[in-house]
Structure 1
């Protein structure tokens, strides 16, 4: 991530009307179910990234609602969640084990020196690696046990497929949060 902060809008490769298929993460080829999973991921990522179009770093760091969320923080949080969930598919429960709460809360805010362009670039790299994983997995039915945490059912396991669907759901949920934050910021909407 870049150490400098700028007042310039950080479109980070987003055109005025980018298509989900033009996502910077879509660089792998797949067919069938894997293509469907990648298409769902690309669309969810597109809507999240699109909410940050034409914003400065300062705007991306602003809290515009009663929540602690800001657009840059959401990009950072979703990237980390995607990265951890993709690691879970390969490494198992240690990749998603609960960490310290203070560090977790920092994921929802832009820190000094972080830029929107840097956060979007890091997110695109995470997305690229996840997409490559989806294509290369030998078996979408392979399971891993979930870590012990209050938000997981004790003894539950997730297949690789379910973990990928979790990334889609997480990204989609936060794209909705981002849309509310952006509309509160300057009236811009992702859709409509």
Structure 2
């Protein structure tokens, strides 16, 4: 198998795992009203709509990093105060539509990138100084972030109405 075919197969596998993680999150919020999606019924201040919004923002930021490094990632100002909240003017359907657009853009973008391309990480206390991440590592990070928040969403949904994603 050629190097290009191996890279394509690897990207196909990574995107399939990411799609599955996104699917769990979308399934978890299925059938909710906007009011339910805004609820914060656990000890945290997380809401289901806020989680959908957050994973979209995170995915977009890391994809900017994959394309152009920390400078491009940081070129869009993050709204940290409202990043985990579903605001009164937002709807769950709208957040899910935005998330679907992000997913499609991610797949198109990654199709044109080399998974081995690496960029230095942004300067932040949670990153090792001078470390770099490859596009592959970025995709794995987005998968982990989406999966972690899908688990949070499952707990919140079960608290709201007893519904579980699995089980």
TM-score, normalised to structure 2, is 0.91
Structure 1 pair 163–76 and aligned structure 2 pair: CA distance change class (3 A): same
Structure 2: where are the runs of 5+ without partners? 1-6
Is 1:147 equivalent to 2:147 in the alignment?
A: no
Q: How far is the alpha carbon of 1:94 from its aligned partner?
A: 2.4
8 Å CA contact retained: 1:38, 1:134: no
Match of 2:47 among 55, 70, 81: 70
CA apart distance, 1:95: 3.9
Distance 2:20 2:49 in 1: 19
Q: Decide which structure has greater helix share.
A: 2
- How do 1:109-120 residues align onto structure 2 when only pairs under 5 Å count? 109-120=85-96
The CA distance in 2 between the partners of 1:174 and 1:105, in whole Å, is 18
Instruction: Give the paired residue count.
Output: 161
Q: How does 1:160-179 map to 2 (within 5 A)?
A: 160-179=135-154
Unaligned runs of at least 5 residues, structure 1:
1-29
In structure 2, the residue matched to 1:82 is 59
Please report how far the alpha carbon of residue 100 of structure 1 lies from its aligned counterpart in structure 2 after TM superposition: 7.9
The match for 1:92 is: 69
Q: 1:105: how far off?
A: 2.9
1:82/1:100 Cα in 2 relative to 1: closer, same or farther (>3 Å)? Answer: closer
Tell me the secondary structure at the aligned position of residue 158 of structure 1: strand
Q: What RMSD in Å do the two structures reach over aligned CA positions?
A: 1.8
